[in-house]
Structure 1
Amino acid sequence: MITGDGVPGPHGDNGVRRPHGRRGSSRLKKLVITLVVLVALLVAADFGVAAAAEYQVAQKMRTQLKLTDDPSVRINGFPFITQALAGDYEDVQISASGVPVRDQLRDLEIQAHLHHVRIGLSDLLGGNTRNATVDDLEGSVTIKASDIARLASNSEIPITDLTIDPDTRKPEDGGPTGKPDPRVAPVKLTGNTTVAGKKIKITAYGTVTLLDTTVQIAAGKVAIDDQTLPGLNQLLSLAARAFSIDIKPGELPFTVTPTEVRVDSGSVTVKGRASNVRLNGATTGG
């Protein structure tokens, strides 16, 4: 409003009180801050309950898998509390590294991926997982090249610097042929040994086969980088035996039946699946 002398009136040009606008803005800012703080507290509480649940699962799995330390447990999905109230945890991941098996293996990696773990929140937080069931799960055990090298070094010729990789050769170059079998994986092994004071490199192509719970590495074609060595044929035979190894990595988590073997750079992994199982390893009969 404009007064007769051309000076703006007390309400300004549009008749809105400016002080009132500033007070409204201040109230809005306080409301936003309050909401942010409330959401942060709810999120913190949600993560706190999830952490407590993960701890209880880790304790149970430590006993189940016979580990010396707690495995890593992650209950995925947010918010956690909605899963807890329903008693249905859609995606739980468990992992443990550096797991020894007898005197043969020292550095196994164990993974378990559980889908729809069904247990009440009170039982879970109380550590009572006796009646917990899992709709579907995948388990795996990974054997590192360091463990395979240790087994190879116990052969008739010492093998050092062992590496393991999938055999990616094409069939026309001597690579694998035929229909792929999930229980058989082509493999390439390389290592060094010393003959008459000379370091030589050995390369072996073969297969990794899953036989029940045993991983069998069998060398087929073996080559040595120095073809002038005396007793070459005998050395090739010894090298083939050195790279032919039976490994018993133990049972998969939750007594999952192994169904697949895979070769990666630096490791061999045994995998399996199961449905309708209890956390104690028994089937539910579903």
Structure 2
Amino acid sequence: MTAGHSGQSGARKVKRKSRRGKFLVIAVLVLGVLLVAADFALAAAAEYQIAQRMREKLQLKEDPSVRISGFPFVLQAVRGDYTRVEIDAYGVPIKDEQKDIELRDLDIEADLHHTRVELGDLLAGNVSKATIDQVDGKVRIKALDLNRLANQVTPFDKLSIEPDNRTTTATPTPVAPETPKPKTTAAIKLSGQTNLAGKTVTVTAYGQIALVDGAIQISVDDIELEDASLKQLVPQLRNALAIKIDPGALPFGAKPTAVEVENGAFTLSGVITDVPLEQR
């Protein structure tokens, strides 16, 4: 065999090896894409089943948003232990005539830690034995409901909710770290417009919200008015804003243990452990 033939043969072998290498890389990539797609599809099917159960559990009119965190999903499925499941429902109305509760725009959140259920049972919708190690529940009460409740005493327009950030505290002396305790009170700032003595007046109120028997109680300490001549109406305004808002039970029956003021909303939160996934 001549040197030319030998060189051509070697070149062909190199090309064949190069093609095989490319095909192998492509096959691995395709397989990876298929596995990821299958993982997401399996997770979506599980999220759908949980959404159905949560619709019953939380007595919602529509399926809530459900997200199972963690990748790959299949590893959690094999263990039957889903580390974290996030559930969100927005604009939820609640009406309980016996307790005189009527709220129209609640946001409900539930953070489920270690939901334990076999994948086959979950996909079949059979969650009778499913349990959750811990649920962090939260209900957000927005300005729309506060405005409506205040209007029962004095008509307000565009009533807003904010934290009261007027006061500043000195830097605390460093101490040994402790587990933070739930806050049962928080400073608030409420502002909006109302009609007083035939005038449209901007009102700014400062006070506190407190957790009282599972509900939010608002108390106003200071009210600012643009028109100083209307100060005699401050007691009426204070009374109008002294509102108690009871959203009922938190998700999964968690007892409210903390309250917070956010921009545009109040929140109640609590924790419950060892609870069933299915409505009972």
TM-score relative to the length of structure 2:
0.89
Cα displacement (A) at 1:125? 0.9
| Cross-structure match for 2:192 | 191
- Work out whether residues 135 and 252 of structure 2, in 8 Å CA contact, stay in contact via their aligned partners in 1: no
Out of 148, 156, 159, the residue aligned to residue 159 of structure 1 is 156
* Whole-angstrom distance in 1 between the partners of 2:205 and 2:54: 38
| Correspondence 1:29-178 to 2 at 5 A | 29-102=22-95, 104-155=102-153, 157-170=154-167
| Cross-structure match for 1:27 | 20
Cα displacement (A) at 1:19? 2.1
| Cross-structure match for 2:253 | 255
* Whole-angstrom distance in 1 between the partners of 2:109 and 2:151: 27
Higher relative contact order (CA 8 A, sep 6+): 2
Cα displacement (A) at 1:197? 2.9
- Work out whether residues 167 and 187 of structure 1, in 8 Å CA contact, stay in contact via their aligned partners in 2: yes
| Cross-structure match for 2:172 | none
- Work out whether residues 254 and 280 of structure 1, in 8 Å CA contact, stay in contact via their aligned partners in 2: no
The secondary structure found in structure 2 opposite 1:237 is helix
* Whole-angstrom distance in 1 between the partners of 2:103 and 2:122: 33
Identity across aligned pairs (percent)?
47
- What do residues 190-209 of structure 1 show as CA deviations (whole Å, max 9, x unaligned)? 11112233211111111111
* Whole-angstrom distance in 2 between the partners of 1:271 and 1:209: 13
Structure 1: unaligned runs, 5 residues or longer: 173-179
| Cross-structure match for 1:176 | none
| Cross-structure match for 1:177 | none
- What do residues 159-209 of structure 1 show as CA deviations (whole Å, max 9, x unaligned)? 11111101111168xxxxxxx971111101011112233211111111111
Larger radius of gyration: 1
Which amino acid in the other structure matches residue 92 of structure 1?
A: V
Structure 2: unaligned runs, 5 residues or longer: 96-100, 170-180
Which amino acid in the other structure matches residue 164 of structure 1?
A: I
Going from structure 1 to structure 2, the CA distance change for 1:181 and 1:90 (only over 3 Å counts) comes to: closer
Cα displacement (A) at 1:228? 2.3
* Whole-angstrom distance in 2 between the partners of 1:120 and 1:213: 35
Number of matched pairs = 265
- Work out whether residues 104 and 151 of structure 1, in 8 Å CA contact, stay in contact via their aligned partners in 2: no
